[in-house]
Amino acid sequence: MIRFDNRDVGLSTRCDASGTPDVAAALMAALQDRPIAAPYLLRDMADDALGLLDALDIERAHVVGASMGGAIAQLLAIHQPRRVRSLTSIMASSGAAGLPPPSPQAMAMLMKPTPPDKAGYVASYLQTWKVLRAGSFPEDEARDAERAERGFARGLNPAGVARQLVAIIASGSRRSALTGVRVPTLVLHGDIDPLEPLACGIDTAQAVPGARLQVIAGMGHALPIVMWPQVIDAIAAHAR
């Protein structure tokens, strides 16, 4: 299995020269159908993943992505189908207009500033995932502080996160393009997702011919430990 940091976060290349975009202004522009200035788009991030496959000399891969990663995975299947053995899109949207928006609480977590200090970041992390999980998951909550500290040590880049959010907004809808995907596709989505409501997963599965939708009861916009076996088994069976 290969996991990697997307551009602008963790230990990957940062695009600091682009500055910090105004996410709220980008959202407003999208609502008013006005052009959005974005340093890069999700298509560029999909090309990053393709470049990694090239560098590792991997001709074809089972591609799995969650949330923004799911959108990036969709774009790989749309534009580079010969490199994708199977697609698993988890808690991701097609980006189509008219889909249900995030809950106010989830949107608040997405838009709040990232604290620059370790203690503030850990507290913010705990609050964010409590909202996104949309339920009580003691096993995850017991690990959250350690996870936050590891993320903080790996390297925060709030400006990069803002650029990624604007990339999502500026990239628009993939729904029409998804109708041409012939890669075997599995869509996994929680039934209580507060950030990408279930209708978003249903829409994605309906767009891709032959796609299979698996709804996970009690799952929000997260992958709680207790649900790992169900998620892993679904991906493994799909890849087989």
Interacting residues of 145 by C-beta distance below 8 A, sequence separation 6+: 122, 125, 126
Determine the pLDDT at residue 149: 96
Question: What's 1's DSSP letter?
Answer: -
Confidence of residue 128 (pLDDT cuts 50, 70, 90): very high
With respect to residue 2, please indicate whether it lies within any of the assigned structural domains.
no
pLDDT of residue 156 exceeding 90:
no
3-state secondary structure 139-201: HHHHHHHHHHHHHHHHCCCHHHHHHHHHHHHHHCCCHHHHCCCCCCEEEEEECCCCCCCHHHH
Assess whether pLDDT exceeds 90 at residue 50: yes
pLDDT digits (tens, 9 = 90+) for 98-117: 999 999 999 999 889 889 89
Distances (CA, A) of 124 to 35, 83, 110, 114, 131: 32, 38, 11, 8, 11
Q: Is the pLDDT reported for residue 136 higher than 80?
A: yes
Candidates 75, 2, 82, 20; CA nearest to 44 is: 75
> Residue 39: which pLDDT band, with cuts at 50, 70 and 90?
very high
Task: Name the domain count of the chain.
Answer: 1
Q: How confident is the model at residue 17 (pLDDT cuts 50, 70, 90)?
A: confident
Q: What is the rounded distance in angstroms from the CA atom of residue 153 to the CA atom of residue 83?
A: 34
Whether residue 13 is contained in a domain is answered as no
pTM across the whole model:
0.95
Can you give the pLDDT at residue 16? 84
| Residue 86: φ, ψ to 5° | -155, 155
Residue 10 lies in a domain: no
Q: What mean pLDDT do residues 58-84 have?
A: 98
What mean pLDDT, rounded, does the chain reach? 95
Q: Between helices 118-133 and 104-111, what is the axis angle to 10°?
A: 150
Statement: residue 165 has pLDDT above 90 = yes
Domain that holds residue 116: 19-239
pLDDT band at 134 (very low <50, low <70, confident <90, very high): very high
- State residue 228's pLDDT score: 97
Cβ(202)–Cβ(225) under 8 Å? Answer: no
Tens of pLDDT, residues 76-91: 999 999 999 999 999 9
Compute the distance between CA of residue 33 and CA of residue 103 in angstroms, rounded to an integer.
22
Residue 5 lies in a domain: no
The residue among 129, 175, 187, 123 whose CA lies nearest residue 149 is 123
Predicted confidence at residue 211, as pLDDT, reads: 98
CATH number of domain containing 139: 3.40.50.1820
Q: Could you tell me if residue 83 is inside a domain?
A: yes
1 lies in some domain = no
- For residue 146, tell me if it sits in a domain: yes
Average the pLDDT over 169-193 and give the result. 97
Residue 7 forms part of a structural domain: no
Q: For position 192, what pLDDT does the model report?
A: 98
Confidence of residue 218 (pLDDT cuts 50, 70, 90): very high
Q: Is pLDDT above 80 for 75?
A: yes
What is residue 36's predicted lDDT score, i.e. its pLDDT?
92
% of the chain at pLDDT higher than 70: 100
**What's the rounded mean pLDDT across residues 128-132?**
96
